Amino acid sequence: MLKKLLVANRGEIAVRIIRAAQDLGIATVAVYSAADAESLHVQLADEAVNIGPPAAKKSYLNVEAILKAARDTGCDSVHPGYGFLAENAAFSDAVTGAGLVFVGPSGDAIRMMGDKVSARSAAAAAGVPVVPGSAGRVEGLKAGHEVLTATGFPVMIKAAGIRIANSLAEFEQAFPQAEAEALAAFGDGGLYMEKVIGKARHIEVQVLADGSDAIHCYERECSLQRRRQKVWEEAPSRALSDRLREELCASAVALAKAVKYSGAGTVEYLYDDEADRFYFIEMNTRIQVEHPVTEAITGIDLVAEMLRIAGGEKLRFRQGDVSVKGHAIEVRLNAEDPAKEFAPFPGQVAELRIPGGPGVRFDSMLYQGYQVPPFYDSLLAKLIVHAETREAAIVRLIRALNELKIGGLKTTKPLFLALAADPAVRAGDVHTRWLEGWLIENAAALAG
């Protein structure tokens, strides 16, 4: 088992990791920027080290400062959390090169799954369905026409930006424009092409692996997104049949085994409701923001298992040990003003009332009097509810949101109260583009 862990992150995830480590008897070291000197993760850790000024590139992205803090405090391991350096292969290499344990996959695994082309190739080799499209870069209109035979329309053309073509005429106009854009941005005209899945759901599978064996902890659905950022996550997905769930989860395990993955990871898919098919998008080689919903339905502490695996233990669970109980929902409470197009709203927490009761969890770094800094992501807290059914979970979510009070700040709480009351959300009849349209239609209500 690990003895002393440096947590290379801040905010609610740093608090979450510190608590999990301390539950296992592992001493903890927090790192912080000058802006985070009074943060909760600094107060809860056994030790804390200032690693630089507020700017992330001079603190939370400063690899040398982080490694120095680990060496100076006698740590044997580093947990990157999510964001910042969590999926940085060079950071993983630097940690292990310094003689420390990186709590996560190897740099090689991060490199492979972080590159779209190699990740797609690895998924296809493992028998995981991939979105029809180019295996690599497409060079020239003739090659583009050949890819079209697999994708059909609509098709996505990716260069520095994204273009959607719905017909051959649109494709032949958009392709040379995208080539010119790629040439200006990257120095060559190579493009990527991919089939557009119309009303797709975003479904992801949580895996745990120890480098030789892997299991899944079932799926989460994250279809409610704003500007491709998840805002509401739940588990399990109501959209999947038992047969398709089994296929989906088995494919994630096959991929984790194929790349000799170690730690907690998430394999993400698009699910086409109409065709009843799923397609691999990517693998996130870290703990996810939304991991608590999986913990709620399976009873497995994913962060603790990451620490055990990093400490040299083999998987403690067989697949048959993992089952789903009930339904869980997580909403991300950000310091943003929904009435002003979600503009950031840093400030001081004047009052704090945290919801409680059966099936309610609140992961945050908040306390009364805390000054939310303007330098980082606006996530304040995650509210997680768990109940026997999805319908009961939504009712519990409404109760918990009404109980919650964060005085002095504008937050996304009104958004979630409105969504929880919406008939389409109640029915689970949503897709990855649904929320954008809903926000336009309900802008006045959120402003009121």
Instruction: Enumerate the active-site residues.
Output: 286
> ∠ CA 429-357-370 to the nearest 5 degrees?
90
Q: Is 336 within 8 Å of 343 (Cβ atoms)?
A: yes
At position 64, the amino acid (one-letter code) is E
Lookup result for tokens 């905010």:
11
Distance of alpha carbon 340 from the chain centroid: 25
CA distances 339 to 350, 390, 413, 435, 442, Å, are 21, 28, 12, 15, 10
Classify the phi-psi angles of 140: left when phi > 0, otherwise alpha if psi is within -120 to 50, otherwise beta.
left
- CB-based burial label for 338 (10 Å; 0-12, 13-18, 19+): buried
Torsion of CA 111, 254, 205, 303, to 10 degrees: -70
Residue 254 CB contacts under 8 Å (≥ 6 apart), including other chains: 126, 127, 128
CA atoms within 13 Å, Cβ hemisphere of 66: 29
Distance of alpha carbon 280 from the chain centroid: 15
Residue 227 CB contacts under 8 Å (≥ 6 apart), including other chains: 436
Token pair, residue 207, equals: 């895996």
Starting from the edge strand earliest in sequence, which strands make up the sheet with 155-158, in order? Answer: 162-165, 155-158, 192-195
Name all contacts of 389-398 with Cβ < 8 Å and 24+ positions apart: 389/326, 389/327, 390/234, 390/238, 390/327, 390/329, 390/428, 391/426, 392/327, 393/234, 393/326, 393/327, 393/328, 393/329, 393/359, 394/329, 394/420, 394/425, 394/426, 396/359, 396/360, 397/329, 397/331
Distance between CA atoms of residues 290 and 390, nearest Å: 17
Residue 194's CB is within 10 A of a number of other CB atoms, namely 22
Token pair, residue 23, equals: 């539950």
Backbone φ and ψ of 323, nearest 5° = -140, 165
